[in-house]
A and B are shown apart, each in its own frame.
Chain A
């Protein structure tokens, strides 16, 4: 188990918060495709998500791979900690 700095948990939680709204909106829109307001909210959050992802990855490394995130040198995708280790 790795104890990460306080800022790590804060930023991770910010990302998880926005992602939660995006996941919930995704399911909602799957059955309510004509809700204009919900789609507006979705797109705003998607933009915010992009910023948070960049901020998180700058400090703590790639969230995704297969080219969905950039890599540092040396390759840092497989660096610990993994999600169950923090």
Chain B
């Protein structure tokens, strides 16, 4: 089971109301390489992965849920004081028409999240390679958003999340090596 903890993994501060930035950031909420996709991908793959990697998928999948909450907090704080007029100017008029100020799982272009963003192949190497690629894509996305952001407080949080993608990719690479070692050992006995 999961137990919720009433705190963020990393503090979220934003400088000003900035719905335009929120529009870009939602990519990491409901986009193909976003935090929801990451959490659901790993937590689903773990049932058919070798025992040695189940812990890692569980723990990284759980951390992704914490990152999802961080992104949600950023979007919430960037948009909570925005007027419908400001949302419209920021390109969020279509979002407002459907959701008011509520968050929704879609990407920066407004495309709703879909399970076809993620895969579970049953083949542990194929799954882990997908996970490494997902982390690298998420890292790149954070970089592109940082490049467009003029909010230093927000960027501090975004840099933290970008660094976590690097660590996750590294751990997944180590998991691949662990499985390869195990496979090679089996050949001799």
Name A residues whose Cβ lies closer than 8 Å to a Cβ of B: 1, 9, 12-13, 15-16, 19-20, 23-24, 26-28, 30-32, 61-66, 68, 77, 82-84
Contact = CB atoms under 8 A, between A and B. Distances in A.
A64 B7 CA distance: 9
B59 A26 contact: yes
B60 A27 contact: yes
A22 B9 CA distance: 11
B178 interface: yes
Interface of B: 3-12, 55-56, 59-60, 63, 69, 72-73, 76-77, 80, 167-168, 171, 174-175, 178
B11 A13 contact: yes
Given A26-B59, A27-B171, A31-B178, 16 more contacts: A12-B7, A13-B11, A15-B7, A16-B8, A16-B9, A23-B63, A30-B56, A30-B171, A31-B56, A31-B174, A31-B175, A64-B3, A64-B4, A68-B3, A83-B6, A84-B73
B178 A19 contact: no
Contacts of B167: 24, 27
A27 B11 contact: no
A84 B6 CA distance: 10
Contacts of A61: 6
B9 A28 contact: no
B134 to A, nearest CB: 16
Nearest to A32: B174
A66 B3 CA distance: 8
Contacts of A15: 7
Contact of A31 (B63, B73, B171): B171
A31 B80 CA distance: 41
Nearest to B172: A31
Closest 5 CB pairs of A and B: A84-B73, A31-B174, A30-B56, A83-B8, A30-B55
Contacts of A31: 56, 171, 174-175, 178
Contacts of A63: 5-7
B6 A16 contact: no
Contacts of B175: 31
A23 B163 CA distance: 14
Contact of B73 (A27, A64, A68, A83): A83
A14 to B, nearest CB: 11
